[in-house]
Chain A
Amino acid sequence: MGKPSDLVQGTLDLLILKTLSLEAKHGWAIAKRIQQVSGEVLQVQQGSLYPALHRLEQQGWIKAKWMESETGRQAKFYSLTAAGRKQLEDETANWNRLSSAINVVIEEV
């Protein structure tokens, strides 16, 4: 088994979008959340988190706002846009199709 952080290509975007679907979060919280929910299996490399966040922002899936964080400091909070919500649905559907297809193959052979 490879390192726990090895995310399947292209799934980071999906994970970020999903994490943001409940509430606005800042970068550190997103990483933490993914780690916790996945039971420490998925380690988000910070090296790819921020470039991904900025890319998603440029594409208009998420938007950012500077707000006071739980520690009282200003932090950049990301939240989903309407287009991002739609994108999340699409990507989830895609992922489900892909993973079930993979499952079928694994179980058959």
Chain B
Amino acid sequence: MRGWEMLRMRIRMLLRRGRESRRLDAELRYHLDRQTAENIAAGMSAEDARRAALRAFGNPTLLREQSRESWSWNGVESLVRDLRYGLRTLLRTPGFSVIAALVMALGIGACFALFTVVRGVLLKPLPFKNPDQLLMIYEHGSGGDLQKPLFGVVSGAMYAEWRKHNHSFSDLALVGYNESNLSGGGEQLPEQLHSVSCTWNLLRTLGVHPALGRDFIASDDQPSASGTVLLSWSLWKRRFGGDPAILHQTIHLDGSPYTVIGVLPAWFAFPGTSTQLWTAVYHDNPPNELTNLGNHSFYVVGRLRDGMTPAQGIADLSLITKHVHDQHLDNPFVGMAANARPLLDDMVGDFKRPLLVLLAAACCVLLIACLNVANLLVARSAARRKELAIRSALGGGWLRLLQERLTEVFLLSSVGGAGGIALAVSALAWFVRVRRDMTRVASISIDSVVVAVAVALVVFCALFCSLISALSVRYTKALAALNETSRSTTSGRTRATLRRTLLAVEMALTVILLIGAALLSRSYQRLRETDMGCVTRNALTMTIDLSGNRYKDRPQRVNFYSALLTQVRALPGVTAAGFVRGVPGQGYMGDWGFTIAEHAPLPQGRMQSAISLWADPGYFHAIGITFLKGHTFDPNRRLDQATQAVVSASFARQYLPNEDPIGKHIQVDNRKYEIVGVVGDTRYQAAKPVQPVQYFPLYTGSYDYGTLVIRSTHDVEQFALPVQRIVQGLDRDLPVSDVLTMDQLLGKSTLDQSFNATLLMAFAVMSLLLAAAGLFGVLSYIVAQRTSEIGIRIALGAQREQVLRRVLLDGLQPALFGLVLGLAASTAVARLLRSMLYETQPLDPTVFATVTAILLLVAALACAAPAWRASRLDPMQALRTE
């Protein structure tokens, strides 16, 4: 009953507050009038009666306030009032408010966007069952060297041993990366897709079920089984119209029939977002490829048994590996131990440090933004000192005034935060579009945690700014403030010190950001300047995959290649064309172990290997790789007669030192290739060191996949369409993919570095601008405040240069202090960046010198205008402004 009554009261107090307020007034007035009437009855004059009544009554306003305080919602009411005041104060200085909100929006936006990325890519657990139990497992060490490779791809035979003998994994699955040519049908063109060949238990190991249809079963994963395939959700939607009737239908991959048995859920992306098809590995590959201990081309995913640690798992598999290794001492390609890392680390490890660095940079920007706003607030509260002093003299409590200020800053940072989040949302959309290369980029989304972080950021900014600016005002010294401001003299020392400290911190952070950005940019520049070993301008590349039924026999492939190249070379404007398994910058295309026939056999367990590429005779000329010695393959020697080889300079240096490579023979398995030429070195990836390469003739016909290179004198892009038409003319089911100029291809392979350097530079420039604006603002304010003092000085005969110098020094002092602080901190920060730098020293003196010069220049420019204004002051004018 009473509860209900109270609730009714509360609602009335919320909804009918205005009426209740008027009623309170009426009630109090009634009381006063009655008292007055009584006093008159007692014989007082009307005037006296009213005064006596008022005296007995006390301060009506206070009384009203006190009565109102007992009403519910009083806190809300005072908050609304503060908000109204805050809004009015902010609107009175729109310039300040807009700038402050913008600065906050930039800071909060940058921080929020990067946190969302970091959370999506690095922090969110993988969407699989108990993802902590999942490991990516590698072979470790080979050819007597345990350190090389640390994380080596696994051979199918080793996987079989692991799966059979281990005690610590509930399951192990084998994964191989492929490209598949999905044949066209009806209206649709053929297309090249990223696919995966896996053992039948892959999805079970991950703990995932198809959204539609069924998973693989053991009997699908055999050479004798008929082909089965799982589709990605996006492929099913895009290519097959999301029609469930696709189940049990047959599609053609590389010309072979596969029955669609299922479709995976939309969120499923393994091993990468681009993977569209999953097929059974033992069905797809000839048995000898999976039983050869030297054929390292697979990845292994394992799920630890309950209660097993990764270390136990690695130790278990290492023991098995060691055993296999010792049984095959004559095979130098067998791993010596097993190695593993958590699946999540394996998938996003490369992006971890750059993303964290960018997040840290964004936090710095936010901090600088906050410092800047705090600085503006400090300057403004100095201007409002008199007002505040009067208010506190009239009884405005310290807490009450602080609360009002907090509300004001909260308003600012909320508006800034809203703007920042809007900025961040569009930045994130852009990020997801641009960084398709980043694993898990699809899992970036705005969820409750991220929203909580956004709110926390807004609160942090508001608290930070208002507390710093509150620190600068001493409400207790009301009288001093009133005295001081009555004649504008120089303001107190504390506030100036505080502002200088804030400026110095801002400058220091800016220096750190600038140095980080400059180092990354320099490293990226070095990266792009790297000599790839070929001529990258005016060269067009496109990838062609012949791995289909139509090209099972070597002569068919050779015929295709030679027909293609003849027709492409015949195009008017094409100066050269070639075909190769892997142009420079396209990545590591795999290596082969070999021996030199003329040398003594290698000791047991030792091996030598080099990157192996297949090229047609015209490739070297087309891509611009120069011959240092000898000549290219004989174009007339084909198939079994194609037994020549070309090696790179580093190959000759490393494996044939002090002898003439020409005429020597490379022996691979049982085949011998005569070295007929030595070419310049190339890099398989821009950031990687040069490695020895052995080129074998494309016209042996043993390889079915590669890149066509077209060279012209200008506008090489124009040949993309004519060449694709030639390919279609030769085989209408053959797709062409990755049509890129060499420059685009190299740009794509250095996308990560370019992106990091550019973004960090953007942050650094942003903070430099903010810091400069802060310096300018504070100095202008100080000069404005000291107008009369400077006027008096000039009137008394101070030289204008002297004034100029004084003000300049006033501003440059915190900048210099910040610079020194920043440089010192940067030496530590730069070391953290070391692993992201390519041929750039963390303590690169040019970078440090340039940043110092830029900062000093910008600081001097920011100080120059206010200093100049001070030195030009007209003393009469200055004194009259009083």
| B5 beta carbon closer than 8 Å to chain A | yes
- Whether the pair A46, B23 counts as a contact (CB closer than 8 A) is no
Q: A51-B66, A51-B67 in contact; A58/B72 too (CB < 8 A)?
A: yes
Interface-located stretch among A16-24, A69-77, A93-101: A69-77
Question: Interface digits, A51-81 against B, CB 8 Å rule (1 contact, 0 not)?
Answer: 1011101111001001001010111100001
Contact A60 B5 (CB under 8 A): yes
* Complex: A82 Cα to B5 Cα, angstroms: 11
Chain B 1-31 interface residues, beta-carbon cutoff 8 Å to A:
1-3, 5-6, 9-10, 13, 23-24, 26-28, 30-31
A55/B30 in contact, CB under 8 A: no
> Are A63 and B5 in contact (CB-based, < 8 A)?
yes
| Cβ contact within 8 Å between A83 and B23 | no
Q: How far is the CB of B54 from the nearest CB of chain A, in Å?
A: 10
- Please tell me if the beta carbons of A50 and B35 are within 8 angstroms of each other in the complex: no
Given A27-B27, A47-B58, A51-B70: A58 in contact with B6 (beta carbons within 8 A):
yes
A46 interface neighbour in B1, B26, B58, B69, Cβ under 8 Å = B58
B600 interface residue (CB < 8 Å to A): no
Smallest beta-carbon distance A83→chain B, Å:
4
Contact of A83 with B71 at beta-carbon distance under 8 Å, contacts A50-B63, A74-B26, A75-B30 already known: no
- Does A81 lie within 8 Å of B2, measured CB to CB? yes
CB–CB B5/A81 < 8 A: yes
The answer, yes or no, to whether B42 is at the interface (CB within 8 Å) is no
Which residues of chain B come closer than 8 Å to A74, judged between CB atoms? 26, 30
Interchain CB contact under 8 A, B27 and A75: yes
Using A27-B27, A50-B28 as known contacts, say yes or no to A83 and B2 having CB atoms under 8 A apart.
yes
A33 within 8 A of B: no
Q: Does A45 have its Cβ within 8 Å of any Cβ on chain B?
A: yes
Give the Cβ gap from A106 to chain B, nearest Cβ, in Å: 33
Nearest neighbor of B68 in chain A, beta-carbon distance: A54
A104 and B23 CA atoms in complex are apart in Å by 46
Asked if B56 lies at the interface with its beta carbon under 8 angstroms from chain A, I say yes
**A residues less than 8 Å from B3 (CB atoms):** 60
Residue B34 CB within 8 A of the other chain = yes
Q: How far is the CB of B55 from chain A (nearest CB, A)?
A: 11
Give Cα A47–Cα B13 distance, bound, in whole angstroms: 22
Residues on A with C-beta less than 8 A from B23 are 66, 76
Q: Does B57 contact A (CB under 8 A)?
A: yes
- The interface size of chain B toward A, counting residues with CB under 8 Å, comes to 31
Question: Which one of A28, A63, A74 has the highest number of Cβ atoms from chain B below 10 Å of its Cβ?
Answer: A28
Which A residues touch B67, using CB under 8 A?
Answer: 50-51, 53-54
Are A28's CB and B63's CB within 8 A? no
Nearest-neighbour CB distance to chain A for B62, whole angstroms, equals 8
- Find out whether the CB atom of B34 lies under 8 angstroms from the CB atom of A71: yes
Cβ–Cβ < 8 Å partners of A75 in chain B: 27, 30
| Cα distance, A60 to B9, chains bound together (Å) | 8
Instruction: Contact check, A51 vs B58: say whether CB atoms are below 8 A apart.
Output: no
Q: How many residues of A contact B (CB 8 A)?
A: 26
A51 and B63 alpha carbons, distance in the complex (Å): 7
Compute how far the CA of A26 lies from the CA of B67 in the bound complex, rounded to whole angstroms.
Answer: 15
Tell me the minimal C-beta distance from B58 to chain A in angstroms. Answer: 4
B185 to chain A, nearest CB (A): 77
Of all chain B residues, the one with the shortest Cβ separation from A81 is B5
Query: In whole angstroms, how far apart are the Cα atoms of A69 and B69 in the complex?
Result: 27
Known: A51-B66, A51-B67, A82-B1. A28 touches B34 (CB 8 A): yes
| Bound: A45/B2 CA distance, A | 28
Q: Is the interface of B mostly helix, strand, loop or mixed?
A: helix
Q: Which residues of chain B come closer than 8 Å to A71, judged between CB atoms? A: 34, 37
A103 to chain B, nearest CB (A): 33
Bound CA span A45–B55, Å: 11
Decide yes or no: A46 and B5 within 8 Å by CB, A51-B63, A51-B67, A66-B23 being known contacts.
Answer: no
Chain B: minimal CB distance from A80 (Å): 12
* B6, B13, B24, B63: the one within 8 Å of A59 (CB): B6
Q: A47-B58, A60-B9, A74-B26 known; A27 and B63 CB under 8 Å? A: no
A70 to chain B, nearest CB (A): 10
Q: Are A58 and B63 in contact, with the CB atoms below 8 A? A: no
Which residues of the partner chain B approach A63 to less than 8 Å between Cβ atoms? 5
Bound form: Cα–Cα A29–B107 in Å: 62
| Chain B residues within 8 Å of A60, by CB | 2-3, 5-6, 9
The closest CB in chain B to the CB of A59 belongs to B6
**Most B-side CB within 10 Å, residue of A46, A57, A73, A76:** A46
Cβ of A28 and Cβ of B6 under 8 Å apart? Answer: no
Bound complex: CA of A55 vs CA of B74, how far in Å?
13
* Given known contacts A57-B9, A58-B71, A76 and B27 CB-to-CB distance under 8 angstroms: yes
Residue ID in chain B nearest A45 by CB atoms: B58
- The minimal Cβ–Cβ distance linking B373 to chain A, given in whole angstroms, is 40
Decide: A46 near B30, CB < 8 A? Known: A60-B6, A63-B5. no
- With both beta carbons as reference points, the residue of chain A lying nearest to B69 in the complex is identified as A51
CB-nearest residue of chain A relative to B2?
A83
Give, as a whole number of angstroms, the nearest-CB distance from B51 to chain A: 15
Most buried by B among A54, A55, A81: A54
State the Cβ distance, B16 to closest chain A Cβ, in Å: 13
In the bound complex, residues from chain A placing their C-beta under 8 Å from that of B33 are: 73
The answer to whether A54 and B58 touch across the interface, beta carbons within 8 angstroms, is: no
How far does the alpha carbon of A92 sit from the alpha carbon of B10 in the complex, in Å? 28
Contacting residue for A28 out of B10, B30, B69, CB 8 A: B30
Residue of A nearest to B65 (CB): A51
CA distance A36 to B437 in the complex (A): 90
> Interface code B579-620, partner A: CB below 8 Å = 1, 0 otherwise?
000000000000000000000000000000000000000000
Chain B residue contacts of A83, Cβ below 8 A: 1-2, 5
Of the residues A50, A51, A59, contact of B27 by C-beta under 8 Å? A50
Q: Assuming A47-B66, A50-B67, is B9 touching A28 (CB within 8 A)?
A: no
Residues of A within 8 A of B71 (CB): 54, 58
A82 proximity list for chain B (CB < 8 A): 1
Residue of A nearest to B31 (CB): A28
Query: Chain A: which residue is nearest B28 at the CB level?
Result: A50
Chain A CB count within 10 A is highest, among B1, B2, B10, for B2
Minimum CB–CB distance from A28 to chain B (whole Å) comes to 4
> How far apart are the CA atoms of A63 and B70 in the complex, in Å?
15
User: Within residues 364 to 397 of chain B, which ones have a CB less than 8 A from any CB in chain A?
Assistant: none
Are A54 and B70 neighbours in the complex by a CB distance under 8 Å?
yes
Instruction: Choose one: B26, B34, B63; the contact of A47 (CB below 8 Å).
Output: B63
Q: A46-B57, A60-B6, A66-B23 are in contact. Are A55 and B70 (CB under 8 A)?
A: yes
CA distance in complex: A1, B5 (Å): 41
The closest CB in chain A to the CB of B57 belongs to A46
How far is the CB of B5 from the nearest CB of chain A, in Å? 4
Complex: how many Å from CA A28 to CA B27? 9
In angstroms, Cα B24 to Cα A75, docked, is: 10
A9–B6 CA distance with the chains assembled, in angstroms: 24
Q: Across the interface, which residues of A come within 8 angstroms of B62, CB to CB?
A: 47
Q: Mark B140-166, 1 if CB is under 8 A from A, else 0.
A: 000000000000000000000000000
**What mask results when residues 38 to 76 of chain B are scored 1 for a CB within 8 Å of chain A, else 0?**
000000000000000000111000110011111110000
B64 to chain A minimum Cβ distance, whole angstroms, is 8
Point out the residues of chain A lying under 8 angstroms from B1, CB to CB. Answer: 82-83
Once bound together, how far apart are the Cα atoms of A58 and B9, in whole Å? 6
Which residue of chain B lies nearest to A70 when distances are taken between CB atoms in the complex? B34
CB neighbours of B37 from chain A (8 A):
71
Interface residues of A (CB under 8 A from B): 26-28, 45-47, 50-51, 53-55, 57-60, 63, 66, 69, 71, 73-76, 81-83
Pairs A-B, 6 closest by C-beta atoms: A83-B2, A55-B70, A60-B5, A54-B70, A47-B58, A51-B66
8 new A-B contacts, CB < 8 A, other than A54-B71, A58-B70, are A26-B30, A28-B31, A47-B63, A50-B63, A51-B63, A51-B70, A54-B67, A75-B27
A-B contact pairs, 11 of them (CB 8 A): A26-B30, A27-B27, A28-B31, A45-B58, A47-B57, A50-B31, A54-B67, A58-B72, A60-B2, A74-B30, A76-B26
Taking Cβ atoms with an 8 Å cutoff, the residues of B that contact A are 1-3, 5-6, 9-10, 13, 23-24, 26-28, 30-31, 33-35, 37, 56-58, 62-63, 66-72
